[in-house]
Amino acid sequence: MKDEEELRMLMNQSEEMREAGERLLKLSADEEAQDIARAREESQWAWEHTLHATEERGREEGWVEGLQLGELKKAIEIAKASLKNGLDINTIALITGLDLDVVSQLKFEIENCSKKMENQRKNVDKSGF
């Protein structure tokens, strides 16, 4: 029983170590204390396992959400490029998977942006800059 010998040697080092060793020996012999310690360890393990599983699920959900956001951004880029090249909104919605309302809104924004840029260009031409 090497562990017991080591414990006895440690208990001889100081009063605090002796007291701690005596408590350890007393608790080690107490069945109820062992049951409580086991229950605590199991509870701690369950808590850590649940926490780890929750963190993992959160990472997975974040990863999926990021992928979905990236796919949406790419679909919008494709829709904008298609609109600028004159493709009709129904075809764009079909190809990109975007709602027809979204494609219509993008078309409206592109047309308004183009009109504003054209007006600014005309104003610059008039002013001579």
According to the model, what pLDDT value does residue 106 have? 96
Regions of the chain short of the pLDDT cut 50: none
Q: What does the pLDDT look like over 14-29, one tens digit per residue? A: 999 988 988 888 888 8
Q: What are phi and psi of 80, to 5 degrees?
A: -65, -45
According to the model, what pLDDT value does residue 6 have? 85
> The whole model's pTM is what?
0.52
d(CA 112, CA 94): 24
